[in-house]
Amino acid sequence: MEYLELIEIVNSGKKRAFFLYAQDEQMIFQVRDQLRKKVLKEEDSLSHIKLDANRCTSEDLQNALSSYSMLSEDILVELSNCQFMETSGSSPLKELVEEYLKDPRDDLYFIGSYKYENDLNKKNFYLDGLKKKISPKSIIEAVDSLKPRSVSAFVEKLLLERGVEPPKNLATFISEVFKGSTLQLEKEIDKLVAYTAGREIRKEDVLKIMEISDERHIMNLLDLIFTERGLGRNIKDILNLVNDLVYRGEKAEMIIGVIGSRLRLLFKIKALAEQKAGSAEIMKSLKTGSAWYADRMTRIADAISYSEYGKLLDVILEHEYMMKTTSVDSMALLEMLILGLVNARDIR
């Protein structure tokens, strides 16, 4: 179900308990925020209880669901990170959520949610079965990523919230060139608004700021490996994204090639920056008209030491050679490459 349909259900007031799961967590946030607006009279209301399933106990949740408001408004209970609902295994928290969805209170709103990692995890047989047992006042839904027409409407909403009147057809154009989650889209819109600094946003601006969006997932991987604080440290997230890319159909050989190209480009930028090259020269080297993007890439390049570049280039060359001369499984080679890159950090 699209988030816009869920927004309408929230506004109708016919449901008192929501359990939502999505790959694009921002879609859950949109529904949650609308529920907050509907139920709460003020942002810091005493009737608002927020719990994280990774930190709270079943007793904490039981107390929240048993709370009564001393104010003239309903209670809103939020429970995030409900990954315990992904499988049929039992737990005290799971039993509480399941029982509450079967019989929600009329004076309390509940929203539980979790983010799944990729399309392989979207199908949830346990929740599909639970849907048949819950109250008509409850709803369990996977929140779909936005379709192109909805992306356009979402872009217009984001721009208007930032005080920008979107020029004709701009939102449609952005929806066509951008590929990624809505949380990423929101960040890109912030960059776009900052870059244009109050003047009318043109298509050329979109292409300058969002020019790599067609390869967004691969760019996310590069951003995890090469950061403004040096080489990335979160191996789990990097490998999860690598696996997701391969599942989407990207070839391991291509991913290795893109990582190598980014490394060589960063090394070139570091050398240019140390030679006191100006922003225009670095922009030319990057083939971009965006000074913001050139500055960011310069910071990333500078965060890696020359000794680290030496080790990184050795790792890339070794794996590219192995890929061309041996029959080693390309996916295994890619995972070995990632570990080699992360372990190339200097001891500081």
pLDDT tens string 242-280: 877 776 667 778 888 888 888 999 999 999 989 988 888
Which residue did the predictor score with more confidence, 152 or 12? Answer: 12
In terms of average pLDDT, the best of 26-30, 139-143, 218-222 is 139-143
Report if residue 348 sits inside a domain.
Answer: no
CATH no. for residue 253? Answer: 1.20.272.10
Which residue did the predictor score with more confidence, 115 or 347? Answer: 115
161, 122: one domain? no
Q: What is the pLDDT of residue 341?
A: 87
* Domain end (from 109, 142, 175): 142
Does pLDDT of 348 surpass 70? no
Q: Which among 50, 55, 3 is positioned nearest to 24, based on CA atoms? A: 3
Q: What is the pLDDT of residue 1?
A: 84
Q: What is the pLDDT of residue 108?
A: 93
Does pLDDT of 42 surpass 90? no
Question: Rounded to an integer, what distance in angstroms lies between the CA atom of residue 313 and that of residue 319?
Answer: 10
335, 239: one domain? yes
In the chain, pLDDT over 90 holds for what percent of residues? 30
153, 138: one domain? no
134, 89: one domain? yes
Q: Which among 30, 41, 120 is positioned nearest to 74, based on CA atoms? A: 41
Q: What is the pLDDT of residue 148?
A: 61
In terms of average pLDDT, the best of 42-46, 110-114, 339-343 is 110-114
Question: Rounded to an integer, what distance in angstroms lies between the CA atom of residue 131 and that of residue 122?
Answer: 15
Report if residue 152 sits inside a domain.
Answer: yes
Number of domains in the chain: 3
7, 133: one domain? yes
pLDDT tens string 73-116: 789 999 999 989 987 788 999 999 999 999 999 989 999 999 88
* Domain end (from 210, 233, 261): 210
Sequence-distant (6+) residues with CB within 8 A of 119 are 23, 247
Does pLDDT of 58 surpass 90? yes
Name the residue type at position 273: A
Question: Rounded to an integer, what distance in angstroms lies between the CA atom of residue 58 and that of residue 93?
Answer: 5
Question: Predicted confidence band at 63 (pLDDT cuts at 50, 70, 90)?
Answer: very high
pLDDT tens string 274-303: 998 888 888 888 877 667 778 888 999 999
44, 155: one domain? no
Which structural domain, as residue segments, surrounds residue 175?
A: 148-210
Q: Which among 213, 183, 207, 181 is positioned nearest to 195, based on CA atoms? A: 207
- Average pLDDT across the chain, whole number: 84
286: which 2 tokens? 């990057």
CATH no. for residue 168? Answer: 1.10.8
Report if residue 347 sits inside a domain.
Answer: no
In terms of average pLDDT, the best of 60-64, 178-182, 200-204, 286-290 is 60-64
Count, in order, helices (H) and strands (E) of the chain.
Answer: 16, 7
- Residue 346 has what DSSP assignment? P
126, 177: one domain? no
Report if residue 168 sits inside a domain.
Answer: yes
Report if residue 126 sits inside a domain.
Answer: yes
Report if residue 41 sits inside a domain.
Answer: yes
pLDDT tens string 108-123: 999 999 988 765 556 7
190, 93: one domain? no
Report if residue 83 sits inside a domain.
Answer: yes
174: which 2 tokens? 């952005």
CATH no. for residue 33? Answer: 3.40.50.300
Question: Predicted confidence band at 344 (pLDDT cuts at 50, 70, 90)?
Answer: confident
137, 154: one domain? no
Q: What is the pLDDT of residue 213?
A: 42
60, 75: one domain? yes
298, 278: one domain? yes
Please give the model's pTM, rounded to 2 decimal places: 0.52
* Domain end (from 163, 195, 210): 210
Q: What is the pLDDT of residue 247?
A: 67
171, 122: one domain? no
Report if residue 64 sits inside a domain.
Answer: yes
246: which 2 tokens? 């391969």
